[in-house]
Structure 1
């Protein structure tokens, strides 16, 4: 297994003197607290910049909860999600306006990547903590303060070298603070770059910017703040692999997405991501106890992801299952005599020798693809191979207004209103014809099912048989229109030894599809607007802390809400037609928590148990279903899910400079019932409905068991941290089609007296294990400013066996004959899930100068 060298570099710019105080006047927007050098900073994992893996819930911070304040950063190398919750349950705000994507519910942390200094000032709220900007989400909420006057005055220049997704980072930040004339200015520019990242065949190129101006009027009663930011990024992706692939490549980070073209590396999966955003905030300090904050936000997101595809040709991907040695010789089933012959064994050896030979044999052969296309073009044929690009763009406008009132020293009341509209633009373009001269906008998956002159094979009957050139749209084009509004309120009070919170919200969501191509599989139901689906949702939440004295605190939380489904899961097959999913309903979410905390001068400990129960949960997936050589659009409705567990943290102060920390959690996140699945395949456009046996499937991509022992020494400007972390029970994303009733019946041995045998549907898991991380740093105060140097190293012992995510393959272990019977294949898809592994030893050297 290759060991990557730690690339240390120096280069970057970033400012904002945390040590330098601002104007002492209590003006609107001034920073409420100053974070120290150990404050939370984003890692690549927490930024969610690899969409091939799960997004993270990063709201895990609270000043009085050891577990929550530590877990987000400590466990980020394995993409840990707080309580295993999906990102859509974590509400993210900037200046009080919601920033989660209106179609998916996700907040894309990559949209604020590189803005480390701007994102340090934020208000965190765990699920049952009070706050002044929202009714807190089930996975918590956080509100970033992007007002220039709140950012510490000064300059900061930072230079970073790493061997992670990027190798060099330069940052410069400048903040004026609030001047005597009431003006504040702020700016940031960050550049991150890698000619090749940690994984071979990847690269990284990203520029981040932030510009802000704020004017405080008169005596500070009014303030206007304007900020704009963006993060244009181009990066190459990493693909997952099976154990067989990693073994033959002798590389846990084998990447099938690239190959050599004219002797140079070229990646087929390139992501371009840019979401320029503008935010205007008006703060009105009505009185010492009353404040009104109103924000208007506009954002235009542009997201493009490319992919190599093929037409009337062999699959060009080097990791295609038929290229694997185990597709010739059955290494799992001794009774499968058809695939355990001497000839089959020789084929296994031949495939092994080829695939494990020169690196080029297991990468994309770009030169061959160009040659094949030129030959096809000479005969007047369409491109056999091409690069397509999927676009997910969105225009979002949102307005939020919040009124905060301090009724007296012990009582606080907040009320807010939010309105937002989103136009999501989804389409596919021809990125590169790879030397070919033409391609037609027809559904090649449906050819064979329908004759070549049938309407059904046309992607757009309004422009039949359209010739597709590079940059032309083809395949599909549609918009998703989403509007929502929300009214919320919260009240908190200190009542003797009791502090309690009561919050409520009421919301409205409307969604609609607007088709821009008339698909032949749904000629009367794909072009133009669908009907509008409307949902009324809302909820209640109660949280309480009881101070028992002597540092003992008891906590309790209860919540119940109806949550409107996301537009992402609302349509059966949005690339084909206007149909909504059947039985689409509000999610019903019950959440609860109970906890205990002890805080003394030398010991800080907390333990929490939580339980969340969800019904009417819907899911939607779109994947290439290899059994039928077609894309499949899959909707699952009526799911019941439970999230529950225990989490604990302990900080023991041995001396004034030396701490010992222990944190850990054991949890579960699973589906409680079998469900109804509806799916439509791109070969016919017919919707099928049957039972799916997905009971006991777990949420994927995060350890459900995790623990850490940490040693921390901070003294005289030096700090040293060492953490031993353990991860276990890491589930991979389950394949729905493997668990259809029809699939289970065909493969046999899945039922006993018509009852499903649960062991026949077990979910694939990834290997856990130990990881040792550490950091060392020094802060040096100079005559002018200060210098800080920090070296952090992750996975010091180079444990490359820990799985960080992956998925089961969407194909069966059998093939169907024309008479309906089945025969087993040599290759076992059920034994070969795709996996990602944690990076080996990797690190980052950070040098910052503040003045």
Structure 2
């Protein structure tokens, strides 16, 4: 495969019938190339095990914003490092962001690239006719069939990415003399083995639309969906990548009867439909009303175990460094000759065979068959986590052009969402039985027969068969309403837009199982949490003459918390988190633009401050020997930086682009901490007292999974139908997701004791303050990446043929980290007994990482007629 890719790169210099793209995603001329609309999976947010909140924003007048989303997508770049919830996505003026998480997953429009070309973009302080733009910008897709380019379009693609083959066909009639318009598109993406070994891809996409225009009215209906089955890639530590001699080692698959099987399979289908009525009241006034419905079905499988050893091949106890301490030479328990011999044995086992580094499915079946003979429950099984939702939204937007210099917009939205979260038994792996009980709770205090061990007291000790629900089952109801308005005016060389919005959000949990740990507080509905939110925004610019423009924007917003962060332990009980409040968000920006015949320059500086920010996580905490649900509230965050975009027109056929940003995105205080043990429902945190009091030191932690420094130099040639682009991109300051557990005060004390016993520096100084640098966040390595494309548009007697070759990471730099996370386990044991023994394996020095793919590419052939 690598040899073929090298040949493909060479072919970039001599392919006679290729076609590429110089326009950015935001330009919509019919000459725009397929490349601009070929989103990568990073952009589409399709991989839940990797950073998925990539933001795509655009503006035709801003060189930086119009190109940064696509150029930096291989590094999973996020605009200004903002979470995707701050990037709002619309269809026909109706908001599509998920009501529970606040985010929009671009995979919902994956595979219908041709239908997403009609799009309006609004940067944070740009005026627009469909919304108050989000802090990370807003996108509005026009899914009306009459707006689609007339004709037929057939695209065939080959790639070595998540999928290897793609086909798309689109047909748009345009608006007929009788006022009818029809649109249809179908696409298919497939791979039996993706770029990462053990992964596959199988996705069908469709779009159907009809529109009728009569008089000054228009009725349109569009429906689309993207049923997808795909397997995923797992992160790994540098030790594991070294052992496998492969930075794309994937621990999620293994051999079963000689065939590859992945344990993490995602099934994702969100059929959606929108009905839109456009009423052109007069030449200056328009009313657009839309009704949207979606039923999303999302399922993700996972291999799990019960009263047995962890079957994951990269589990820390299976690694050589768990036997011999490679970090601390005073850890004498793990620096013996026997420990070193065990290291060698483990190393040789890992290197001996690829099968030794993967899941042994046959062994799991064998273990379950043995336990069947003893009448026991499954030792190994595959579970499926479901996150489904039903959404209904009504939206209406009123646009009025008062005169040539004044414009007024009004909008309202009301929507409801039912999120359905539950777990099912996907595969018992040959076992005969499994009971719906919490085996993790079994101890001196509780037995398997204790009512506290039941996941559902309404069906005690239920036997779980394949397809049955177990563990947890609950719904989250969210209702939202919003009223907004904006007013724009031109006064000579001065233009301004003022906008405001007010909204209402309510949320409620409805438990479908009566958990034994919360017998009176888990089944049925919780009370409602209700929030009023809103905000004001001002954007302005002044034309100074001579091509100089200065802009200024500021906004302040009260933002309701997301329901996904609102419940303390949603899998267990109905409790809301402590101290849940509206986020308070200030955002400001100053910009400068200059344009003449050979230069277009944008320079922007921004600052955003957030207070009352909340976060929610769950992981295993060794110090309390329990899986815990963690809530962080009262956080303060700051985002600031400088952005530069410049386009130099060296000749009519040759441009040079310079894009870059240096930014910061960090927490500026120590959050308020609350966490609950899943084995006892015991609460710990800042709100607690006595032995249950705890706090977190997370001040200074950065937002992860995106480079905070990114630079690009691009060369663009376009003449006689040829388009050649070459971009050199540099990424730096890539932080990994930090572990809250590593920064709990109580855990820090425990670690101090364990480290002191070995004679190593402690985390706290003599006054009890954390030593600077002792809790620094893990980072990933940045670096340089070269990307390019070449192509040509060939005009035929009937239609045109476009051929385009895009190659990413031409120099095959595989050392750039695109994301990852610190481990949440503790590097010591014996807390309960007071021994505080340091383990041989160091969790804090072994974060999990994802690395940028090596040389990869896509060849597109498109026939338009």
TM-score range for the pair, normalised by the shorter chain length = over 0.9
1:172 to 160, 165, 169: 169
Are positions 1:756 and 2:753 aligned together?
no
Secondary structure at the counterpart of residue 719 of structure 1: strand
2:800 to 779, 786, 804: 786
Q: 1:802: how far off?
A: 0.3
Are positions 1:142 and 2:139 aligned together?
yes
Q: Indicate if the aligned counterparts of 1:482 and 1:510 stay in contact, CA closer than 8 A.
A: yes
Q: 1:6: how far off?
A: 7.5
Q: Indicate if the aligned counterparts of 1:545 and 1:556 stay in contact, CA closer than 8 A.
A: yes
The equivalent residue for 2:458 is 462
What TM-score, normalized by structure 2, do the two folds share? 0.94
Secondary structure at the counterpart of residue 612 of structure 1: strand
The equivalent residue for 1:564 is 560
Residues in 2 aligned to 1:516 and 1:610: alpha-carbon distance in whole angstroms: 46
The equivalent residue for 1:382 is 377
Residues in 2 aligned to 1:652 and 1:461: alpha-carbon distance in whole angstroms: 70
Are positions 1:65 and 2:62 aligned together?
yes
2:840 to 812, 823, 826: 826
The equivalent residue for 1:195 is 192
Are positions 1:504 and 2:500 aligned together?
yes
Q: Indicate if the aligned counterparts of 2:57 and 2:138 stay in contact, CA closer than 8 A.
A: no
Residues in 1 aligned to 2:214 and 2:789: alpha-carbon distance in whole angstroms: 45
Secondary structure at the counterpart of residue 309 of structure 2: coil
Any residues of structure 2 matched to 1:82-97 within 5 Å, and which?
Answer: 82-97=79-94
Instruction: Encode CA deviations 1:566-621: one digit per residue, 9 max, x unaligned.
Output: 00000000000000001000000000000101011100011100000000000001
Q: 1:68: how far off?
A: 0.5
2:364 to 369, 385, 405: 369
Q: Indicate if the aligned counterparts of 2:301 and 2:382 stay in contact, CA closer than 8 A.
A: yes
Instruction: Encode CA deviations 1:257-300: one digit per residue, 9 max, x unaligned.
Output: 00000000000000000000010000000000000000000000
Any residues of structure 2 matched to 1:605-684 within 5 Å, and which?
Answer: 605-625=601-621, 630-684=626-680
The equivalent residue for 2:715 is 711
Secondary structure at the counterpart of residue 347 of structure 2: helix
What TM-score, normalized by structure 1, do the two folds share? 0.96
The equivalent residue for 2:689 is none
Q: 1:681: how far off?
A: 2.0
Moved more, 753-762 or 790-799: 753-762
1:302 to 297, 306, 312: 297
Are positions 1:444 and 2:439 aligned together?
yes
Any residues of structure 2 matched to 1:104-143 within 5 Å, and which?
Answer: 104-143=101-140
Any residues of structure 2 matched to 1:7-86 within 5 Å, and which?
Answer: 36-37=32-33, 39-86=36-83
Are positions 1:398 and 2:411 aligned together?
no
Are positions 1:223 and 2:236 aligned together?
no
Moved more, 443-452 or 166-175: 443-452
Q: Indicate if the aligned counterparts of 2:209 and 2:220 stay in contact, CA closer than 8 A.
A: yes
Residues in 1 aligned to 2:38 and 2:123: alpha-carbon distance in whole angstroms: 18
The equivalent residue for 2:577 is 581
Moved more, 447-456 or 741-750: 447-456
Residues in 1 aligned to 2:655 and 2:735: alpha-carbon distance in whole angstroms: 33
Q: 1:631: how far off?
A: 2.5
424 and 262 in structure 1: CA distance in 2 versus 1, 3 angstrom threshold = same
Secondary structure at the counterpart of residue 60 of structure 1: coil
1:731 to 735, 751, 755: 735
Q: Indicate if the aligned counterparts of 2:620 and 2:627 stay in contact, CA closer than 8 A.
A: yes
Instruction: Encode CA deviations 1:788-837: one digit per residue, 9 max, x unaligned.
Output: 00000000000000000000111111112543241211110000000000
Number of residue pairs aligned between Structure 1 and Structure 2:
829
Residues in 2 aligned to 1:650 and 1:820: alpha-carbon distance in whole angstroms: 61
Residues in 2 aligned to 1:44 and 1:818: alpha-carbon distance in whole angstroms: 45
Q: Indicate if the aligned counterparts of 2:785 and 2:809 stay in contact, CA closer than 8 A.
A: yes
Q: 1:57: how far off?
A: 3.7
Q: 1:54: how far off?
A: 1.5
Q: Indicate if the aligned counterparts of 1:514 and 1:528 stay in contact, CA closer than 8 A.
A: yes
1:773 to 787, 792, 801: 787
Residues in 2 aligned to 1:626 and 1:193: alpha-carbon distance in whole angstroms: 41
Residues in 2 aligned to 1:447 and 1:398: alpha-carbon distance in whole angstroms: 45
Q: 1:677: how far off?
A: 1.2
Instruction: Encode CA deviations 1:623-651: one digit per residue, 9 max, x unaligned.
Output: 24455554221100000000000010111
Residues in 1 aligned to 2:626 and 2:239: alpha-carbon distance in whole angstroms: 25
Instruction: Encode CA deviations 1:699-755: one digit per residue, 9 max, x unaligned.
Output: 000000000010000001000000000000000011111110000011112222122
Q: 1:35: how far off?
A: 6.5
Residues in 2 aligned to 1:41 and 1:541: alpha-carbon distance in whole angstroms: 33
Residues in 2 aligned to 1:279 and 1:460: alpha-carbon distance in whole angstroms: 39
Residues in 2 aligned to 1:760 and 1:349: alpha-carbon distance in whole angstroms: 32
Residues in 1 aligned to 2:622 and 2:356: alpha-carbon distance in whole angstroms: 23
527 and 4 in structure 1: CA distance in 2 versus 1, 3 angstrom threshold = farther
Q: 1:451: how far off?
A: 1.9
Residues in 1 aligned to 2:819 and 2:677: alpha-carbon distance in whole angstroms: 27
593 and 467 in structure 1: CA distance in 2 versus 1, 3 angstrom threshold = same
Secondary structure at the counterpart of residue 153 of structure 2: strand
The equivalent residue for 2:319 is 324
Residues in 2 aligned to 1:33 and 1:254: alpha-carbon distance in whole angstroms: 42
